[in-house]
Each structure stands twice: as C-alpha cells, then as structure tokens.
Amino acid sequence: MKFLLYAFVGVHLLSLNSGKAIYRNDMSQRTFQEIKEEIAHYGDIAKAIINLAVYGKAQNRSYERLALLVDTIGPRLSGSKSLEKAIQIMYQNLKHDGLENVHLEPVKIPHWERGEESAVMLEPRMHKMAILGLGSSIGTPPEGITAEVLVVTSFDELQRRAPEARGKIVVYNQPYTNYSQTVQYRVQGAIEAAKVGALASLIRSVASFSIYSPHTGIQEYQDGVPKIPTACITVEDAEMISRMVSRGSRIVIQLKMGAKNYPDVDSFNTVAEIIGRKYPEQVVLVSGHLDSWDVGQGAMDDGGGAFISWEALSLIKDLGLRPKRTLRLVLWTAEEQGGIGAFQYYQLHKANISKYSLVMESDSGTFLPSGLQFTGSEKARAIMKEVVNLLQPINITQVFSGGEGTDINFWIQAGVPEYFRLAFEVCSASALGKAHLEILLHKWKESYQQEPVYLMTYTSISPSITPVETPLLSWIQSR
C-alpha cells in the first residue's frame, strides 16, 4: 500500500535563476512563457520523485514509519511523557536518515490531564452518556454537578433565553454546517454559557456524522468570565435530549470531570534540513505536528502530516538532489493546545521572516486528493496550473478556489506585500467531506519589506498513493 498525499502549493514566484520575486520591480524581465518553459524543465525531476515514491524503495515508507511510531508510542498529549518520548525518537530518526542540522528547539507547553469523567442522565430516566472533556477544561467538584439542562441550538438562542440558563447545564445542539463555522461552539461554548450563569456546558460533537463517538479538542476561557467545566457529547445524545425537551420533559444530568491543569512543561519543536547550495539562508519550510489528543493514536491528526513532511526531505535526499534554497522540516509540539510550538517558533525566527520563501503545514486529515485549491491573481493561477501539470502522471492536476489554515497563522498575521495574494487548499474526495486548509497573503510590515513570504499549507492522505507532490513542489520552490 502506498501513502497518498495532497499538497497545497504556495509559490514564492521567484525568478528561478535569480532568486528575485517576479512580481516586483523586475516582473517585466520574465514573461509568462519563460516561466512556463522553466517549470516544464522540471519534468524529469518530477518523474524521478514520482517513480521513487510510487514504484521504488520509498513505496509505503511514510505509512510504515508512521505505523511504527503510533503503534509504539500511542497518544502524545501535550505535557505527557509519551509526547517527549516521541520527540526524542523522531530526533534520532531524522539523524539516522542523514538529514542535516537536526536539532531540537525548546519551548514551554501546557500540561492538562483529563482524569476520570462521566455524565449520567438522572431524569426522566437513567442513561449513561459518552463524553469527552475538552482540552484545558477545569474539573467538577468530586461529587460532580447535578443540574437541569437548557438545550439551545445557537449562541443567539442562548442570549434570548439567558434568564433560563442560571444554575443549569447548557447543552448545545448546534447544527453542523462545516467545521470552521461549527467549531466555535466547542471553543467558545463554556465562555458564553458561563456569562449567563450556567454551571457547565455540554457541546454536541463537531462532526458531520457520528457512530456514538464524542470528539475532543481545545476550548478557551476568557478573563473576567467564570471558568466552568465543559465536555463534548455525542450527536445522538444531543439530538435525543433536544427531542425530549421539545416534548416537555425535564432533563437532569450529573456531570463528573476530574480534569486538571498543571504548570507548563518543557518540550521541543523538532527540526531537520537539506541545506541549500546557492541560497542556504533562504528557507522553504514543511511541517506537521507530533502531538495528539489522549484518546487516540494521532495517526490522522497529525501523524500523517508530520510524516509526509519528513518524507518530502527523504525523497529529495534519496535522489541526491541539492536545492538552491534550504528545505527545513519542523515537527511542531503542542499544536492541539492552540499552536503553542508554532507560535514560539515564530517568535524565535520572526526577525528573519523575510528569508522564508514558503511555509507549509499539513494538518487536515488524510484523504484521497482530487487537486489543489487556489485563490489569487489570474497570473498566479496560470503559473500554478503549470506547476500542477507536473503531477499529470498521478492525475492530480486540477486547480480549485478557496482555502484556510492553522499553524502558519502566525506568519499570515505578520503579512506580506499586498500586490500578490495566494491561498491554496486541496479538495478531498473523502466520504468524510472536503478537507480545508488556507493560505492568506496579507500586508507586510514596512520594516520587513524585502523578499515576500508566500504561505502555504498541504495535507496528507491515507495509504493508496505515495507522497509525491510535497517534495516535488518544495523542490521547484527551492530552485
């Protein structure tokens, strides 16, 4: 079995010979035809990467590497010993792989533990509910919280019914529209419930379908607003409670959560490189995060993204390719707690942000690719189509529109010159729905206006085709 990948391609749009951005003062020096011809010259490299990944010794490698880690280590929660063990294993793996400048960059990360948790409907009948506490949630008193529930379908409804919420457990049965819109109830649900005097909040899992499977994820508290326990319940239970209330039933739930927050602990971002031969100070970055939640192996979120990022460098190294620019792999720590590792990396490296040609992230699940999703000028779209055409041998040549992203948001917020904006997203043919990623190009602070930084994300997919696009497009970018 091979390891499928789908890539977001952000193009610095450098003159591939000079290393200067083509949409700056020298833009007239290069015609689209010249750029098109130069991209086409990478056809042999594209075929070599595809052949190695799909048919050669690298076939199945990412999948097998990932399976070994997740089977051996298991969950890798921020602050846990298992996460730090995984980081040390990956550090040794990258050194053994022959990559350059392999090192660990220290960061401080949150330490939260779930503890024992339960929810039981006491009235109008006994029903034990499946729940998962949300990351950073406080726990309940040892005896738990027993209260009547108030069911709402939106924050607006909660505000309208605010007088009813005091002293109750708010149950959010929000409809699922898409992840980016619906996840606000998981992230902000406890805050809004606490503002109207609720004792706790239970959120319908943010999922398009369910097999009685509660989801977890990070949630937030707000200064000046009381902290209340919060957890996700299944789609089925949220719907059932809503139906019962609509018939006039009084629902009482007992919630017990042993969650605790501890002081921050030491951790590391894991870094490896292939040093550029001509512009070693200029960086093309590929990344994924090593941490996961505590209730699964983290193979999908985000072991796949981390390991295809490693594979990108492995394939290029195995082919003996030496790009002009440095290819840098970063395996983030504590992404699930809000991109903590990525933020501290940005703080450490932002003084050199003008030297980052491309920043890529893979963290949107692993599904079958159908193409690249892109937003930008028509000139940029035309160039991107030429790059994607190099993937014709594996039939991933479509360019769509749209996009969104996570760990690279710190770079996005720093901004880039306005004259050229790009956003890329891959489209998934998964039955779970389309995977969404984003790259936005914004205005760069004048003090950093040198070379533009084009931000990009990409993501991986499950075993079926090998990771080809990422190393190929990273190589093109770095040339």
Distance CA 166, CA 193 (A): 9
Distance CA 204, CA 47 (A): 47
Burial of 266 (0-12, 13-18, 19+ CB in 10 A): exposed
- Asked if residue 180 lies in contact with residue 148, where contact means CB atoms within 8 angstroms, the answer is no
Distance CA 244, CA 130 (A): 18
Element (H, E) at 267: strand 260-274
- Cα separations (Å) of 460 from 52, 64, 424? 17, 14, 14
End-to-end CA distance of the chain: 31
Task: Please say if 64 is a catalytic residue.
Answer: no
Element (H, E) at 68: helix 61-73
Cis previous bond, 323, omega within 30 = no
Q: One-letter amino acid identity for 233?
A: I
- Asked if residue 402 lies in contact with residue 440, where contact means CB atoms within 8 angstroms, the answer is no
Cis previous bond, 407, omega within 30 = no
Q: One-letter amino acid identity for 392?
A: Q
Beta pairing, strands 279-289 & 325-332: parallel
Question: Which DSSP state fits 282?
Answer: E
- Bridge partners, 463 (sequence order): 3
Among 165, 149, 166, 167, which Cα is nearest to 157's?
165
Distance CA 181, CA 371 (A): 24
Element (H, E) at 48: helix 43-50
Distance CA 77, CA 296 (A): 10
Alpha helices in 51-206 (DSSP H): 61-73, 81-96, 155-160, 162-165, 179-182, 184-195
Catalytic residue among 84, 192, 335, 336: 335
Alpha helices in 217-364 (DSSP H): 235-246, 304-318, 340-349
Question: Which of the residues are catalytic?
Answer: 335
